[in-house]
Structure 1
C-alpha cells in the first residue's frame, strides 16, 4: 500500500512534521538533554517511560516497548494504516494532497472504484458551480441566503451545491465517456424501467458527505420544492458509503477535536454548520442514523470528552439517552456532557431564532452531566405530585446516582429535597439501602489469576516461576557482536556487501538474520544518508523496531571501523559455536547431577574445562 504514495511526498511530510509536536498533543513532554520524556499514552504510565529523540524523529517506550517513527505512532494511536497516517499528518500541516493520492489511500481498489471517487469529486464541484454561478441555481441560492441565513463563504466551506432538473451530471459523465457500469455503481443516477438514467438528486440542494480523508463519497439532498413528498434523501448504502461508519464534517473537524480533546456530536448537518458559524469547529453529525459502536471507537481515539448536542424534543432526548449508554459501554474514562438547548429547539433553530450568541452560550454553559440529564429525563411523563409516581421516580434516581460521584450525589439529593420537601436524610438512607441491596444480590466470584507482567516471559517449572524481562535481559558477547554488526550493516551498504560476501556467515539469532535480509532490500530501494525513522517505517514490524531502537541506543552513534567489523565477524562465526557447545554441556551436567551419574558427570565436566581452556 505504501507504494501508492510517491516517496518524495512521504519525505516531504517526514521533513515538515516534528515528532515532538505530534506526540506532545497526546502527552506532556519535557526536554531532558537531547531527548524528550513523558508518560506513554499507550498504557497507564505512572512513571514516565516514553522517550522521544527529536534529532532522529523516533520514539520508544521502555515500559511497553512501543517504538517507531511519527507515522507508526499515529498508526497505532489512531488505528490507521501506514498510508492513512501519512495523509493524516499531511493534512495537519496543510500540505496539498493530490486527489489521485487521496483516492488510492481512502479505498485502494480497482480502477472502477477510483473512477467513482473522481466522479464524486467532479459532481461536487459541478453542483457548487451551478449553485453559485448559474441562473439554474438562483432559487436555491436565494433559499440558502434568505431562509437558512448562510453566506457564500459558509456555502463554499461546506461544499454545498444544487442539482438542477436538466441532468447536468449525466451530461458531464457522457461527455467524459464514462462506462455505464461505473455510472450505475456510483449511485449518482437513477435508472427507470426503460433503462434511462437521470441525476438522482435532481431538484435538490446537496451537502457532500466526505470520508475522514476528505474524499467525497456521497450526498445528502433536500428538495427545493416543499411539495415534494420526499423532503430529504441520502446516497444509498454502498461499499464506499456506510452510514454506520461515516460522520459528517469529521474531515474538517478532526484536527480541532485532536487539539481540544473534545468532540460535539449533533443530529443534523445544518446543526454542525450552525456550530461552525458560532466558532465551534469540533462538530460532527451522524448520518441520519443513531450513534454506532464504529462512530464511538473512531472518536475516542482522538478525544477524551464527548458533548451530545441533540434536539430538545422528546426524540432528541431519547437519542441522547441511547448515546450515553453506548459510549459508556464501549469506552472507559471518557467524559460525557449533554448540552441543554432552550425551548426544545435544535441547534440550527436556536441560531435562526435566537442568534449565534445564544447558541454559542448554550454550547459552552448549558452542559449537563449524564446523571443530571438522565434524572431530568426520568421526570418526563410522570405526575410527581402523585405519591406512587414520585416513589417510582425516586427509584430511577437512586439507580442513576449509584454511578455518580459523592459530590454529585449530594447536589442531586439536595435539589430533590428542596423541590419536593422530602428530608435529605431520608433520600440518603434510600440511596444507601439501594447500594446495600445491590451488593447483597451480586454474585461473588473468586478468580485465581496469574500475575501479568509487561514485556516479560514467564517460565513455569517444578522449581517455581522464573520471570525474565525481555527488554533489559543480559546480552551475551555474541549477541552484542551481532547487534553492533547489524547496526553497521544498516548504516553502510559497504559493510552489508562485505558480510554477504563472507562465506559461511549467518547470524546466530533469527531476528538479526531477518533484519539483514530486510536491510538489504531497504538499501536497494533507498539511497543517500541513512534515516532511522524512514528505516523503521520500512520494517513496520513492532518487535523488530523495538530491537532496532535498543541497538541504536548503544551502537547508533559509533563510527564504522574495518577492524571492528572483522572482530564482530570472528566472534559470531568462531565463538558462537563454542558458546552453544558450552550451554549444551552445562545442561547435560545439570541432568547428570540430578540423575547422580558420577561417571557421566566427570566426563562432561572434563570436556567443559577443556573447551574453556581453548577460549583463554
Structure 2
C-alpha cells in the first residue's frame, strides 16, 4: 500500500496512461457500450470474459477473477513490483523520472536483490577497467581493436569488458563483505561441485553487459578469448532478475531513437547491433541466444510502428525470420514488418568489417523485403526448381503464402514466377484461387464446429448474468439479500465518510462476511489520505489484494451509481443486523431437516419443519 514514490507522480502517470491502450497490447479489445471486451490474457479464455472500463480505468475478468487498475495489470502480467509498474508505465508515456524517484524505487527492492543489482553494476565497471587499463586486458583489447575493429570510444559506450583469470570480482565481493547468499544468487560465480570453491563465471572472456530497459545491468554475455575453449559463447543463466525472453539487448539505449523514428531493427547478435550503431543506425536491439518472444514484441509495439528483421542468411536465421514474421502477425498486427537482405550471405558485423560502414548503412536502408517477398524467396531454399516435382512443391508453398497477401503483392509475385519459369500467369492465378477456396472451406468447417461447441456450453438454460455482465455457468452464484445489503453499505461508506462514522457507532453492528469488515477498515484508512471524489482505480491500487479488488469491482458494478440516503442506509443496517441471523437459522434448519429425514426421525422432522414455517411466515 505504502510507496516511496510520491503520490503526485503516481497520479500523473495514472492520468496519462490509458488502460485500454495498455491491455490492448496483450489482447484484442472490442468496444461494447461503455466497456471494452476481449479474451483474458491470463488464462485460456475460449469465451471472452475480460471487461475493461475506460472511464474508471479498471479491468475485470469474470472467469479467472483477476481485476484491478492499469498498475495491477502490468504487475500481474510482467511480474513487476508496484513501483516497477509505475516507472515502466511512466517511461511508456515519456514522463521524466528523476534520480530521487529512481532511488526511492530502489528502496522498495529487498536487500538481497538490491545487493545483486549493485554487484552487477560494479562488475561491469571492474571488467571494463580491466580491459582498458591493465596488462591483464591487453590481449582482449588487441582482439577488439584488430579483429573486430572497435575503437575505445565504442568499447566504452557499450560497456564492453574483460574478465581475468584471477577471480577479480570474487575478491572484490569478499572485500565488500557480501554474503554467500548474495554471491550464489547473483549467478556471477561458479562453484566447483567437488571442492566447493567459487570462481568468476566469465573468467577469460570478453563480456558485453546486458541491461534492462531502464539501464540496470542484470547479466553478461561472454566470448572466450582462448580459441581452444569448446564453449565459445556463454550467457548469464536465467534467474528471478534475468529472463532472456523479456530482455532485449540495447533497448535501454535505443528506445528514445526508436520512439522518434518509429522504426526498430532486430538483430541476432550483439556485435550486429554495435555495427549498425557505428553505421549511424541507432535503433538496433537483439535477442540473447533465444528466439523472439511475445514479450519482446509487446515491448517494441509500445514504441515502434515499423520493425526490420536482420537475421543471418543461414537456415537457422531464415527459420528465425519466419517465426518472427508469424509472431508479429499474431501479436502486433499494426506493426509494419520488413526483412533486410544482406549481400553474399554475410551478417551485419561481417558487412561492416569486410565491406565498410557505407555498404552496411545502404543495405540496412535499401535492401528491405516485404514479409511476403521474403517468404516466397525462402520457399526456394533447398529445391531444384528445374525438377518438376520440386517446382510443384514450391508452387504449393507459394500459394499458401500468397492467399493472405494483398492483391497487388499477389500480382507482383505471380508475374515474377510466370516470367521466370514460363508458367502462364492464368494457370498460377487459377491455382491461387483453388488454394483460397480450400482454406475458406477448412475455416468454414472449423467455424461450424466451434459454434456447435459454444452453443452446447452456453445454452439459454445454463448461462447466467451477474450485474449485467455474462459469466460462465460454473461461476454464477446468486447473491443473497444480506450480502447485497453489505455491498450497498460498503459503497455508501466509500462515497460518504459520515456514513462510515454512523456505521462504526451503531451498537452491535458487524458484517456477516469477514471480507466486508476488512473492506470497511481499509476504506477508513484510505479516506484519511485521499480526500475528494472516490477513484476506484486508486482505491484498488491502495488495497492490492486480488480477492478484495474482485469484490470492489462487483460492488461498483451494482451500486456505483447509487445516491447515499439515510433511509436506505438504515435499511441496509436492519437487513444485516436482523435478517442475517434469521437467514442463518433458516439454512441451519434446512440442514437439520435433511438429517432428520435420513434418520427417519418423524418427531424431530415435524418440530423442525414447524419452526421453519413459522420463520418464513414472519418474514412475509
Q: TM-score if structure 2 supplies the norm length? A: 0.70
1:43 paired residue among 20, 29, 33: 29
Pick closer, same or farther for the CA change 1:427–1:521 going to 2, 3 Å. Answer: same
Return the alpha-carbon distance in structure 2 between the equivalents of residues 440 and 17 of structure 1.
48
Pick closer, same or farther for the CA change 1:410–1:187 going to 2, 3 Å. Answer: same
Which residue of structure 1 aligns with residue 275 of structure 2? 274
SS of residue paired to 1:248: coil
Which residue of structure 2 aligns with residue 59 of structure 1? 57
Return the alpha-carbon distance in structure 1 between the equivalents of residues 123 and 527 of structure 2.
40
The question of 1:367 aligning with 2:353 is answered no
Retained in 2: the 8 A contact 1:340–1:362? yes
Retained in 1: the 8 A contact 2:83–2:105? no
Retained in 1: the 8 A contact 2:489–2:572? no
Pick closer, same or farther for the CA change 1:292–1:529 going to 2, 3 Å. Answer: closer
Return the alpha-carbon distance in structure 2 between the equivalents of residues 372 and 103 of structure 1.
51
Which residue of structure 2 aligns with residue 13 of structure 1? 9
Return the alpha-carbon distance in structure 1 between the equivalents of residues 182 and 77 of structure 2.
36
Pick closer, same or farther for the CA change 1:123–1:398 going to 2, 3 Å. Answer: same
Pick closer, same or farther for the CA change 1:16–1:248 going to 2, 3 Å. Answer: same
Return the alpha-carbon distance in structure 1 between the equivalents of residues 34 and 356 of structure 2.
47
Which residue of structure 1 aligns with residue 606 of structure 2? none
Return the alpha-carbon distance in structure 2 between the equivalents of residues 545 and 255 of structure 1.
38
RMSD of Structure 2 on Structure 1 (CA): 5.1
Which residue of structure 2 aligns with residue 381 of structure 1? 382
SS of residue paired to 1:9: coil
1:503 paired residue among 487, 502, 507: 507
Return the alpha-carbon distance in structure 1 between the equivalents of residues 74 and 180 of structure 2.
40
Retained in 1: the 8 A contact 2:486–2:511? yes
Return the alpha-carbon distance in structure 2 between the equivalents of residues 86 and 259 of structure 1.
23
Unaligned runs of 5+ in 1: 29-38, 559-563, 584-603
The question of 1:340 aligning with 2:338 is answered no
Pick closer, same or farther for the CA change 1:66–1:505 going to 2, 3 Å. Answer: same
Return the alpha-carbon distance in structure 2 between the equivalents of residues 77 and 235 of structure 1.
24
Give the C-alpha shift of residue 433 in structure 1.
3.5
Pick closer, same or farther for the CA change 1:63–1:138 going to 2, 3 Å. Answer: closer
Which residue of structure 1 aligns with residue 127 of structure 2? 127
Give the C-alpha shift of residue 212 in structure 1.
5.3
Give the C-alpha shift of residue 355 in structure 1.
5.1
Which residue of structure 1 aligns with residue 412 of structure 2? 411
Pick closer, same or farther for the CA change 1:270–1:10 going to 2, 3 Å. Answer: farther
Give the C-alpha shift of residue 502 in structure 1.
0.8
Which residue of structure 2 aligns with residue 170 of structure 1? 170
Return the alpha-carbon distance in structure 2 between the equivalents of residues 77 and 182 of structure 1.
27
Return the alpha-carbon distance in structure 2 between the equivalents of residues 9 and 544 of structure 1.
27
Retained in 1: the 8 A contact 2:492–2:569? no
Structural mapping, 1:580-599, within 5 Å: none
SS of residue paired to 1:372: helix
Structural mapping, 1:203-222, within 5 Å: 203-211=204-212, 214-222=215-223
The C-alpha deviation readout for 1:201-252, integer Å capped at 9, x for no partner, is 2333211123456443321112445565644332345565454554433455
The C-alpha deviation readout for 1:136-191, integer Å capped at 9, x for no partner, is 54664565466545556654553322223443212212212334564355442345
Unaligned runs of 5+ in 2: 37-52, 471-478, 584-612
Give the C-alpha shift of residue 412 in structure 1.
0.9
Pick closer, same or farther for the CA change 1:74–1:233 going to 2, 3 Å. Answer: closer
Retained in 1: the 8 A contact 2:500–2:524? no
SS of residue paired to 1:460: coil
Which residue of structure 2 aligns with residue 470 of structure 1? 468
Q: TM-score if structure 1 supplies the norm length? A: 0.70
Give the C-alpha shift of residue 12 in structure 1.
5.0
Pick closer, same or farther for the CA change 1:278–1:179 going to 2, 3 Å. Answer: same
Return the alpha-carbon distance in structure 2 between the equivalents of residues 155 and 264 of structure 1.
21
Retained in 1: the 8 A contact 2:509–2:577? no
SS of residue paired to 1:217: strand
Return the alpha-carbon distance in structure 2 between the equivalents of residues 175 and 186 of structure 1.
16
Retained in 1: the 8 A contact 2:276–2:284? yes
Which residue of structure 1 aligns with residue 403 of structure 2? 402
- Return 441-450 or 529-538, whichever deviates more: 441-450
Retained in 1: the 8 A contact 2:418–2:425? yes
Return the alpha-carbon distance in structure 2 between the equivalents of residues 544 and 429 of structure 1.
59
Pick closer, same or farther for the CA change 1:412–1:297 going to 2, 3 Å. Answer: same
Return the alpha-carbon distance in structure 2 between the equivalents of residues 76 and 12 of structure 1.
23
- Equivalences, count: 549
Pick closer, same or farther for the CA change 1:527–1:341 going to 2, 3 Å. Answer: farther
The C-alpha deviation readout for 1:253-290, integer Å capped at 9, x for no partner, is 56777888865432101222334455655543222234
Structural mapping, 1:21-32, within 5 Å: 21=17
